[in-house]
Amino acid sequence: MTSVALKVGRNDPCPCGSGKQFKHCCGALKQSRSLSTDVASMLREAFNLQQHRQAAQAAALYQRILQSQPRHPEAHYLLGFIEYQAGNLTQAADLMGKALGLGLTDAAAHYHYAVVLLQLHRAAEATVQLQTALAKKPDFDDARVNLANIYFELGSFNEAEKLYRETLVRQPENWKAYHNLAHVFYYLGNIDEAIRYFEQAIKIVPQYAEAHASLATMLEVNNQLVEAEREALSALELQSGNASASVVIAKILRRGQKPGEALAALDKIDFNTATQRTLITIWNERGQNLDRLARYHEAFDAFAQSKKALAAFRGLSYNKKERELPLDEAEAYFTRARTAQLVKTLRYPTTLPLPVFVVGFLRSGTTLVEQILGSHQDIAAAGELEFTLKIEQGLIDRQGTAYPRSLDSLVTDGDGAALMASREQYLRQLAALGDYPGKKWVVDKLPFNMLHLPLIRLLFPESPIIHVVRHPLDTVLSCFFQAFLHEHEWSYTVQDAAEHYIRAVRHVERMKEALDLRYMQIRYEDLVADPQTKVRSLLSFVGVDWDPNCLKFYENKRVARTASYEQVTRPLYSNSVNRYLNYIDMIDEETLSLLEPVIVALGYESLRGSLGR
């Protein structure tokens, strides 16, 4: 994302967006008539020193002012500005916050305070300050773009899109808004729109290397490798060593089975061009290529560096209790007896197409199964939909009770209208994604729908649920090796990923006991070893005839919008089976012991030999 930096030069444009020079706008401090001549003189002198980069002398004068007038808002604010420039973010935030609390009302002051708060990972507070800046100055487009950036980082993509679009209405040539809006579409899975908006940004600033690099990134994700290389090379011509473009070149080389050359491309990166977000990808790409070269210890260390950078960037850590609470509540609520009672109230209309739910822990093979099914003439693939999650969040009763307890009052006296309305809501949203003529089924491949099985059972009892499992250690390590830029903070360490995996699998087993599911489990390893038999079994379970195109899923022109977009463009391969054996010496014994019971329960070979190392 492209953010807005503080502009402090006296003759620079004012950051409030007025078009005036800073010295004639927000820099011209409003001096209270109650100020003594000495204080007013000191303030002017301090401000002049600050503008001429004599920060220490300016700070000393602001301190003198505060000694005589400790509630002077401008002195607090400008002293905070000096602390910000010195990199003392906590002190800067304290001083700027106090200035606003003492009555400083300029929109620019709220904006600058928000910039500091953002760097302290205090996004919620920064949001309030930017909203205040916009309320005071509705044409403050820098504040609007930064507020959109916050929503983007929080995963509130619809809110971010709205603000970027508002900016473009006001400023049709604002390339930053085009550039950042393209990122929004990327994370919404609309790669075509992302490409279009990056191209628009390039038209406005053709000499901006990062715009070319961002477009190259999208083209690579879209499997347009020739075009991706062209844009990456354009970025490198404009800015030698551009980090984002170098990563794209490395990915293309790795996909061409040239991991050594890919590492060489990464070695040419100028780290002065790398954002904190790009560092995550650089380390991850190094790990991917070192893995291909069988340099496993180096690869593991590179993946660990990527996760360390990701944790620092997101400012988050795994909250196990918070993650597990909804699962605990569902398991306590959905007993066999209560589920049977709820089902009695429901009457299901016949509608086509209906969803097929492909679920499983991340990196277990769900994208492969989706691509296989989506190659069938009677089945479409819709990608990772979040309809079920949003419906679940919306099932609140009049008393404000949340799901699942809200079902007690929503489904009473034989009336299941609320759930049937939710079913229709899901189907309307599905239909809005595209036209599916002649299709009987549409695949909803949101892996963590495995944690929402009760609602799926209530809304779509006729829908097949295909649970894809892969060796637990391969799954956990693959999650650790993946740079998830949003959510999934449980993947920052191998042990946290293992604990979350164990809890998710346990939840599925408990829900299978309580719910009458149309459920099938398929192992990734079995699918790779005997694809024809297993694909026939899959199609029979769904209830469709054999289609040989399912074995040629890699010829499907549909581009998968998941981390596995590259893998499903190739025929089935076994390289990822038992990959954990290359890394087992790097996994602590506590984690191995935690996973052992689940490994055995899923039918895989015991790790006891490894545990005794």
Annotate 493-533 with three-state secondary structure.
CHHHHHHHHHHHHHHHHHHHHHCCCCEEEEEHHHHHHCHHH
User: In this prediction, what percent of the chain has a pLDDT beyond 70?
Assistant: 90
Residue 127 to residue 180: CA distance in whole angstroms:
17
Whether 4 has a pLDDT exceeding 50, the answer reads no
Q: Which of the two residues, 229 and 556, has the higher pLDDT score?
A: 229
Residue with tokens 């990456």: 232
Q: Is the pLDDT of residue 6 over 50?
A: no
pLDDT given at position 190: 85
pLDDT value at position 575? Answer: 73
Residue 569 in this model has a pLDDT that exceeds 70: no
Asked if the model's pLDDT at residue 199 lies above 80, the reply is yes
- Average pLDDT, whole number, for the chain? 87
If one compares 612 and 253, the residue with the highest pLDDT of the two is 253
Position 51 scores a pLDDT of: 84
Give the lowest-confidence range in 105-114, 472-481, 556-565. 556-565
Q: With 80 as the cut, is the pLDDT of residue 19 above it?
A: no
According to the model, what pLDDT value does residue 349 have? Answer: 82
pLDDT tens profile 519-547 = 999 999 999 999 999 999 999 999 999 99
| Nearest 10 degrees: Cα torsion 396, 397, 402, 408 | -130
| pLDDT computed for residue 10 by the predictor | 64
Q: Which pair of tokens denotes residue 262?
A: 């890919």
Collapsing DSSP to helix, strand or coil, 113 comes out as helix
Q: What is the mean pLDDT of residues 568-591?
A: 81
Residue 215 has pLDDT above 90, yes or no: yes
Mean pLDDT of 137-145: 91
Q: Lowest-confidence range among 6-15, 82-91, 388-397, 425-434? A: 6-15
Among 43-47, 444-448, 455-459, 514-518, name the one with the lowest average pLDDT: 43-47
Q: Are 248 and 216 in contact (CB under 8 A)?
A: yes
Helix ranges restricted to H, 334-414: 336-343, 366-373, 387-394, 407-410
- Residue-wise pLDDT for 461-478, tens only, equals 999 999 999 999 999 999
Helix (H) or strand (E) holding 600: helix 589-601
Buried b (16+ CB within 10 A) or exposed e, 586-595: ebeeebbebb
Supply the pLDDT for residue 345: 81
Amino acid at 99: A
* pLDDT above 60: residue 567: no
pLDDT at 581 over 80: yes
Question: What local confidence, expressed as pLDDT, does residue 2 receive?
Answer: 47
> What tokens appear for 17 in the block?
């967006």
- Over residues 479-503, the mean pLDDT reads 92
Of the candidates 219, 25, 35, the one whose C-alpha atom is nearest the C-alpha of residue 111 is 25
* Of residues 364 and 558, more confidently modeled: 364
> In terms of pLDDT, which residue wins out, 180 or 14?
180
Q: What is the pLDDT of residue 570?
A: 52
